[in-house]
Structure 1
């Protein structure tokens, strides 16, 4: 479905340079089971890409291929122009320093203070103590934890631990930040604060971010694009607002359940005999929603049962469920809605 919004696109959408990340037909099997089955993706500089899927879909294997911890059976994993799938282990070490990693369970060293945890990647690099501590202090200020520099992980909340993990991931000035279910162990309020921090870091540092998650709300909050993985294959990808407004794959629709409006069963059960039910989805143009509302108010033959409008990536995304009585001519209404670029599906004739 094509939505018309007149937008010129974001800087990321208009990017023309070489991608920071490019996967080309990546295959990875464990025995006879394909964990990745021909995955191809690219991520532009400064972009936030969300990779979403259910447990066992291939997300963990994909992120391990991106940081070089897993070697694909075939295909290319290109990071900043280098195919890391073909590099010897010795050549991977300097490249891994260009990739920051945020973990679900923080992975902090309990016997080290906050500032020592943040400085650890620089110690591994062989940087001097003064340089390490100066950089770590700057990053603790960035993530809002300057006052916790001498605390130990056991003295921190979950959100604070994740902020330390983010600071540590930034220590070596990476060009790519990988987030592996970084908010799934946090409560909703803390999750929002961490996502706001990641978005701010993305904007202020121009950092490219790949989010691995099973939560559509995470992608919705900060993603530029989303790729949906299922059974080792990318089944759908595109700008977040577009995929949310018109999911093409069944798995995407299931992952979106609870985010997009659904018609309550008790409303559907009360429809008079002969009533037609139409679902209208629109995105990118609020006039499409007004068209639905205006057309539905012209006559008692059309009645909005349920729905609403939300904003994803600053674009209106809406869904309405409209009851049409058996005396109304449905076809002109459908034609008008579809001509506007919205999607109209007759659920009950």
Structure 2
């Protein structure tokens, strides 16, 4: 079997020990709509220069969270700090200059159809009262950054979806924000265009040191560019950590479910035959990451634990330049001691092992 390895768009792991500044800090944020808690005690931070992905299913609280961040929604309790300033109790007049420190990228672009690309990008500066020459110079600079200089005088109707999102990103950067909020920015795009937009965001993060908070329901978006991930469910952060670590060892059921679309799964023809009790073969799921995934795990297992086993499915991916793998092994026979020795060896190599069940005949 070929083990598929993918490293496209993966960013470096941050090992810099220098204490970093929090651009966003949320403290025990709560917001209810009637009897329904949209946010139920959310606390998290986004550090300067990092990309944090917040992922959850529809209705998990993502939209309410992002509206609290830009001041469009006021929490019932808790605190929202942007660049060390608490904003949840500010009046509209005081919120306006703060909102200029936050750029927004939307799922459906939100471009003004009657204005040119150049005018759309320069709009935040026009609202701010900047001189025309300054606005146009900034728009030209940003259109070059996003690769659309030749479209400055075009109108949104003539652009592709990916081009419209590039304009949206340029516009979000116009006022030189400290924080970029991306609200499902790639959900309306095809896979190839999505990859190009994510690569652009990663490049902007690297070039400008811009802090980015991604709201998404797609784990592939998180895998591609985020440094850390926070999983939200029913208004609570249920899991948080470096992306590769969460991918390697998801703690919550919702995280495992969200990862199901991009991590190897037991083929249906085998899964449908699984049963409890004894059988001709035992099926194991093995999750490995980091150093455990670097070495010849199966070769070492074969040498250390004499007896049969077979790789029936799985592969190794790379997340943040760290190998993360899921393998499915079949261990034939009913020798409990042999099975226990296989499991013990794998666990001793820092692998996470789960007995999925047994099949009555060889797979």
**Counterpart contact for 1:12–1:45, Cα < 8 Å:** no
Q: Deviations over 1:66-95 (max 9, x none)?
A: 111111000001000001112222111111
- Cα RMSD of the aligned pairs, angstroms, is 1.8
Aligned to 2:316: 309
1:324 aligned onto 2:324: no
* Number of the residue aligned with 2:291: 285
Aligned-pair CA distance for 1:288: 5.8
Give SS of 1:138's match: helix
**TM-score, scaled relative to structure 2:** 0.90
Q: Whole-Å Cα distance in 1 between the matches of residues 60 and 73 of structure 2?
A: 16
Aligned to 1:230: 233
Is residue 346 of structure 1 aligned with residue 346 of structure 2?
no
Q: Which of 79, 83, 88 is the aligned partner of 1:85?
A: 88
The question of whether the paired residues in 2 share the 8 Å contact of 1:12 and 1:46 is answered with no
Cα shift at 1:125: 0.6
Q: 2:307·2:338 contact (CA, 8 Å) conserved in 1?
A: no
Aligned counterpart, 2:5: none
Question: Structure 1: where are the runs of 5+ without partners?
Answer: 1-8
Contact 2:293 2:324 in 1 (8 A): no
1:274 to 273, 280, 295: 280
Q: In structure 2, what is the Cα distance between the partners aligned to 1:250 and 1:192?
A: 27
Residue 236 of structure 1: how far off its partner (Å): 0.6
What is the aligned partner in structure 2 of residue 261 from structure 1?
Answer: 264
1:315 shift after superposition: 0.4
Q: Could you say what secondary structure the match of 1:244 adopts?
A: helix
The alpha-carbon deviation at position 347 of structure 1 amounts to 1.7
Q: Distance in 2 between matches of 1:238 and 1:245?
A: 11
- Cα distance change, pair 72–268 in 1 and its aligned pair in 2 (3 A): closer
Note the C-alpha offset of 1:10.
Answer: 3.5
Q: Please report how far the alpha carbon of residue 32 of structure 1 lies from its aligned counterpart in structure 2 after TM superposition.
A: 1.2
Post-superposition Cα deviations, 1:230-283, rounded to whole Å, max 9, x if no partner, equal 110111111111111111111111111121111112234578933222111011
Please give the secondary structure, in 1, of the residue aligned with 2:312. Answer: strand
CA distance in 2, matches of 1:288, 1:152: 51
The answer to whether the Cα contact below 8 Å between 1:12 and 1:44 also exists between their aligned partners in 2 is: no
Distance in 2 separating the partners of 1:188 and 1:199: 16
In the superposition, the TM-score normalised over structure 1's length comes to 0.93
SS in 1 for 2:153: coil
For residue 103 of structure 1, the aligned residue among 89, 103, 106 is 106
1:13-162 pair list within 5 angstroms: 14=17, 16-162=19-165
Alpha-carbon displacement from aligned partner over 1:27-54 (angstroms, at most 9, x marks no partner):
0011111100000000110110000001
* Cα distance change, pair 269–234 in 1 and its aligned pair in 2 (3 A): closer
Residue 246 in structure 1 maps to residue 253 in structure 2: no
Q: CA deviation at 1:291?
A: 1.7
